[in-house]
Structure 1
Amino acid sequence: MTRLPLIVIAAAAALGGGGAGHAAIDPASLVNPLVGTGGDAGHTFPGAVVPHGMVQFSPVSAKTTSPGGYRYDDPTVRGFALTRLSGAGCANGGAVPIMPLREPFRQHPAPSARFAHARESASPGRYRVALGTGIEVDLTATARTGFATFRFPDRTGYLAFDVGGGA
């Protein structure tokens, strides 16, 4: 007699979970690329990258010695590089930071720019920041390419390629 109610309860529990009330969660929405960018602990970077991608388009902090090229506690950036090595814990030079500027520069190195974390966002495959100079930067990446959009406030801008600055 007690078997029948137990079978009915088990069947109801098994069939009851199939309702439309469960929304699928996109695993990429759970990723925070800024994790590990503080101090010298993680040596990671928040830039645009996809799993096993050839390009890691990321900001380069102005005052960093971090192998990841970015430190969360540095409020300045000296460019955006296409190659990074996340979490390596050792130097990985060879990067060529690209710095958007509002006017030409006449001395090396190119000027850095301040930014606020409130105007910075990072997600898998995308990094965006508004620089203190008014320039907006949007970086994206695919498996084999990186793409940068620089929006200049007065539509005139310059790019400085720091070929000797292998961050």
Structure 2
Amino acid sequence: MADRRSAFELLAGALILLVAGGFLVYAVTNSGRASAAGGLNLTARFDRIDGLAAGADVRIAGVRVGRVVAQRIDPATFLAELTLSVDAGLRIPSDSSAEIQSESLLGGKYVSIVPGGAERILRDGQRIEITQSAISLESLLGRFIFSVTEMNRPATPTPGEAPAPAPPR
């Protein structure tokens, strides 16, 4: 009886490990993080890429079409240069633009390619020339707070001018 029970427990454990392994294989192959062999490699230069890391998504119209493969600083221009691996089946016009977008206020960043209308197509190793860098949320918030405090600051009279009278009670 004890041998039968331990054999059953061993078989059940093996089955659970097999199912967990199947879920792991499914998750890796369908998460979009698997290697994109045969992709079209493009580069793009940006003033700033705040928070964008290698492995981040490359999207067209919100659909994942590739990933950021590498990032480096161009020593001549001090711009951030990204290498993007994009689905080789896509025919991306040469006047397309690349923008760094945020998924949400707290989410990660991704590169969005906005297709242009040119008849020439980008080839492997070419550069996307039109780019828009990441927008710094901290900078925008600082500007907003500064503008609100400036609007609420009382106007100071010019020299030689009497201050405005207080409203009657």
When normalised by structure 2's length, the TM-score is: 0.28
Give the number of the structure whose alpha-carbon radius of gyration is greater: 2
Q: Where is the helix percentage greater, Structure 1 or Structure 2? A: 2
When normalised by structure 1's length, the TM-score is: 0.28
